[in-house]
Amino acid sequence: MTFCSDAGERDELLRRFASLDLTSNPNVENLPTKPAPNASSPDLNTSPTTPVTIPNNTKGLSDVLSALRKLREGIVASKRVDDFAIQVYLFCIRLSVLVKHPESYHPAILHLLRRIQPLHSMTSVEMNEVVGYLVLDTACRRNDLAEAFAVRHKYQLRDARIDVVLDTLAHDNYIQFSRLKKRVDGHKAKLLEYAEESMRKHLLKCFGRTYLSIDLDFLETCADSKWATLRAEDGVGWELDGGKVVIRRVKAR
């Protein structure tokens, strides 16, 4: 409560959460990752997870995530199904999506949809929001497009932007993907980040198979990344010759 009240307005709270990254700081301490009782769904066995860490200077966030996990455990143990339970799960899901903590939001989404929703319905807006997160997480983090389409069909999700995202992923269209990432809200943008690296690498492979050389500005615009970053983080081994990027040279006969 202290962490949330210190932020004041809703937008400031969301901004603070969105500015945190659980894996970007090398000076980290382990965050307890004991799954909530509702995390025992068979679907979780197909969700790859990574060790959860958190920067030392964001202990407040660690406390919030831990408190929310305990609160969810209490709701599950008491079999509570009401508006309060829904709001707790929605808050947990939104926060965990913003800080990219799938170990919290994925089981929470499944419990909300499978256990709470059938007994105490969410609003249509809340339902679309949660299902949208599940579809994007399945497609982007778990890299399972077929399952993402199945989830969309199962819950009859109607969201034009998510439809475009799925189409973009299916066609490996990184340029459109990059544009979409700037148009969706902050929560969905965080989920799209899971697929960004693989999509960019596919784009670079296409350039490598198609061109002998390319303008640097055009490459940086298409890849939505600077040359130095492409070299350091994406492993680009091409040569820079002035304003041109030499992908491969024609061998003299």
pTM over 0.85: no
Cβ neighbours for 148, distance < 8 A, ≥ 6 positions apart: 135, 136, 138, 139, 166
Cα–Cα dist 38/103, whole Å = 12
What sections of 22-143 are H helices per DSSP? Answer: 59-78, 83-98, 102-111, 124-136
Low-confidence ranges of the chain (pLDDT < 70): 1-8, 10, 13-60, 252-253
- pLDDT of 33 reads 36
- pLDDT of 180 reads 92
Name the burial class of residue 29, with classes exposed (0-12), middle (13-18) and buried (19+) by CB atoms within 10 angstroms of its CB. exposed
- pLDDT of 62 reads 78
Name the burial class of residue 173, with classes exposed (0-12), middle (13-18) and buried (19+) by CB atoms within 10 angstroms of its CB. middle
CATH of region 2-196: 1.25.40
Q: What is the dihedral angle through the alpha carbons of 162, 166, 172, 175, rounded to the nearest 10 degrees?
A: -10
Name the burial class of residue 144, with classes exposed (0-12), middle (13-18) and buried (19+) by CB atoms within 10 angstroms of its CB. middle
- pLDDT of 31 reads 39
Cα–Cα dist 25/22, whole Å = 7
- Which of 87, 88, 108 lies closest to 43, judged by CA? 108
For 240, the 3-state DSSP assignment is strand
Sheet containing strand 239-241, strands side by side: 213-215, 244-246, 239-241
Domain borders along the chain are 2-196, 211-253
